[in-house]
């Protein structure tokens, strides 16, 4: 999958075609420090309103330590990920349910995004514990990684859950994950995460109380030349429903739960560095504790599509988020004709200039933004710059 100079940023679900800086392998010296910087310029166009531009950025710094080499603790490794975000919030202007830029955050600050230790338990099983990004392993696939729309990261029907969102970018939670590999390409992983995502840098810091209960998630499948996975998730405590049945009064609480499936497969393989890969993902949820009852994402990734541009990549994607019946009723009660879904189309291309800088123009079209049936099209034009160090 996209072997030429590829770097994947797990917390963002973003794959960048930027040549990696030559570093010693962690196994050779026991530790590795890496980082990258992303800056986006986003223009929101909506008929009947003035266009508005936004700038936002994302800085990652990661430290990986092989405890076997450094301290003689065999089969153990430590990963720490620092994260800083600044800039505007383009979705405030776009008014979509799913967002338009996967580095947009509600609060701009420095955070410790991940800090976990992993221990091997035999040749096929690992245990990981600490501050952990759910989307680094669950509900993720490589071929969707170039697209900027957040829905191509973790599905919207789970990303909108929890009192502060689940343990995903930009705020993680204390968690434990067990993964077992079986056969040639099979795997199963199970995660137990604090339902209240709050990390170092967020107000109050890490939540050690677990008063909001737990998020439980399990995923199994095959990762070979193709990927086919299925997962289920649920919270141990009921969550507030997003809309009351009568439109007023206290919110009811109900179980937040769902399931998803991912299929990714090469469509064409012109040579080792010129694959064309397609993917499709589908997710469903309870339809009461968020505005979503499910959705799908699909797309195609073209590696090095143009002659003489070995580090280039083109991606085309589409997604729909199906709006819950309760949310549609609430919109109708305010006089807004509701749509059954919010639909998003995206085309993006990335390449490298000056040998080190990634540049990525992006175009998105959102139909029925916000679940509003008569709303004009929202057009999002973007330009992303990336740099690794």
**Tell me, what's the pLDDT at 270?**
62
Q: Is 297 part of a structural domain of the chain?
A: yes
Q: Across the chain, how many H-helices and E-strands are there?
A: 5, 20
| Burial class for 313, CB neighbours closer than 10 Å (0-12, 13-18, 19+) | buried
CA neighbor of 13 nearest in space, from 198, 116, 155, 112: 155
List of long-range contacts for 335-339, beta carbons under 8 Å, 24+ apart: 336/372, 337/372, 337/373, 337/374, 338/371, 338/372, 338/373, 339/368, 339/371, 339/372, 339/373
Q: Is 31 part of a structural domain of the chain?
A: yes
Q: Is 1 part of a structural domain of the chain?
A: no
**Tell me, what's the pLDDT at 26?**
58
- Sequence-ordered strand ranges (E) for 47-199: 52-66, 76-87, 110-120, 125-132, 173-182, 186-194
Tokens describing residue 108: 């701009």
- Residues near 361 by beta carbon (within 8 Å), at least 6 away in sequence: 348, 349, 382, 383, 384
CATH label of the domain that carries residue 125: 2.40.160.180
pLDDT in tens, 337-382: 999 999 999 999 999 999 899 999 999 999 999 999 989 999 999 9
The C-alpha atoms of residue 303 and residue 90 are separated, in whole angstroms, by 29
Q: Is 16 part of a structural domain of the chain?
A: yes
Q: Is 375 part of a structural domain of the chain?
A: yes
Q: Under a CB-based contact definition with an 8 Å cutoff, are residues 169 and 199 in contact?
A: no
The C-alpha atoms of residue 82 and residue 308 are separated, in whole angstroms, by 36
227-235 and 257-269 strand pairing: antiparallel
Q: Is 332 part of a structural domain of the chain?
A: yes
**Tell me, what's the pLDDT at 19?**
36
Beta bridge pairs of residue 386: 38, 358
SS3 266: strand
Task: State the sign of the Cα–Cα–Cα–Cα dihedral 245, 247, 249, 251.
Answer: positive
**Tell me, what's the pLDDT at 27?**
55
Q: What is the overall mean pLDDT for the chain?
A: 91
Residue spans of alpha helices (H) in 183-229:
none
Segments forming the whole domain that contains residue 194: 6-388
Provide the domain count of the chain.
Answer: 1
CA neighbor of 100 nearest in space, from 40, 59, 49, 160: 40
pLDDT per residue of the chain (389 residues) written in tens, 0 to 9: 443 333 343 334 344 333 333 344 455 789 999 999 999 999 999 877 889 999 999 999 999 999 999 999 999 999 999 999 999 999 999 999 999 999 999 999 999 999 999 999 999 999 999 999 999 999 999 999 999 999 999 999 999 999 989 999 999 999 999 999 999 999 999 999 999 999 999 999 999 999 999 999 999 999 999 999 999 999 999 998 888 665 566 778 899 999 999 999 999 876 666 799 999 999 999 999 999 999 999 999 999 999 999 999 999 999 999 999 999 999 999 999 999 999 999 999 999 999 899 999 999 999 999 999 989 999 999 999 999 99
Q: Is 307 part of a structural domain of the chain?
A: yes
pTM of the predicted model as reported, rounded to 2 decimal places: 0.91
**Tell me, what's the pLDDT at 271?**
64
Q: Is 113 part of a structural domain of the chain?
A: yes
CA neighbor of 337 nearest in space, from 349, 328, 324, 346: 328
| C-alpha dist (Å) from residue 23 to 34, 68, 363 | 9, 19, 34
């Amino acid at each position: 999958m996209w072997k030429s100079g590829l770097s994947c940023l797990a917390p963002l679900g973003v794959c960048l075609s930027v040549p990696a800086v030559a570093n010693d392998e962690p196994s050779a010296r026991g530790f590795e420090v890496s980082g990258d910087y992303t800056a986006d310029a986003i223009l929101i166009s909506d008929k009947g309103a003035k266009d508005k531009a936004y700038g936002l950025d994302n800085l990652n710094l990661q430290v990986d330590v092989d405890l076997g080499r450094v301290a003689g603790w065999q089969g153990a490794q430590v990963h720490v990920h620092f994260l800083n975000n600044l800039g505007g919030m383009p979705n405030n202007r776009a008014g979509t349910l799913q967002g338009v830029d996967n580095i947009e955050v509600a609060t701009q600050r420095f955070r410790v995004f991940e800090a976990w230790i992993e221990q091997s338990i035999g040749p096929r099983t690992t245990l990981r514990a600490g501050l952990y990004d759910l989307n680094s392993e669950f509900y993720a696939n490589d071929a969707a990684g170039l697209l900027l729309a957040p829905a191509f990261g973790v599905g919207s029907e789970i990303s909108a859950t929890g009192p502060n969102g689940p343990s995903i970018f930009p705020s993680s939670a204390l968690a434990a994950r067990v993964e077992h590999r079986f056969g040639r390409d099979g795997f199963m992983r199970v995660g137990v995460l604090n339902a209240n995502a709050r990390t170092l840098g967020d107000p109050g810091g890490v939540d050690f109380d677990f008063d909001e209960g737990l998020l439980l998630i399990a995923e199994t499948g095959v990762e070979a030349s193709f990927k086919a996975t299925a997962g289920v998730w649920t919270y141990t405590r009921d969550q507030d429903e997003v809309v009351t049945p009568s439109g007023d009064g206290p919110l009811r609480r109900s179980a937040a739960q769902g399931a998803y499936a991912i299929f990714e497969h090469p469509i064409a393989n012109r040579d080792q560095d010129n694959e064309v890969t397609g993917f499709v993902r589908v997710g469903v949820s309870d339809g009461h504790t968020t505005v979503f009852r499910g959705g799908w994402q699909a797309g195609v990734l073209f590696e090095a599509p143009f002659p003489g541009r070995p580090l280039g990549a083109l991606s085309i994607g589409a997604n729909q988020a199906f709006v819950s019946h309760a949310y549609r009723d609430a919109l109708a009660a305010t006089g807004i004709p509701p749509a059954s879904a919010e639909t998003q189309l995206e085309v993006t291309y990335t390449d490298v200039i000056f040998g080190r800088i990634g540049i990525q123009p992006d175009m998105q079209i959102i139909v029925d933004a916000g679940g509003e049936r008569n709303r004009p099209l929202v057009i999002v034009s973007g330009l992303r710059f990336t740099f690794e160090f």
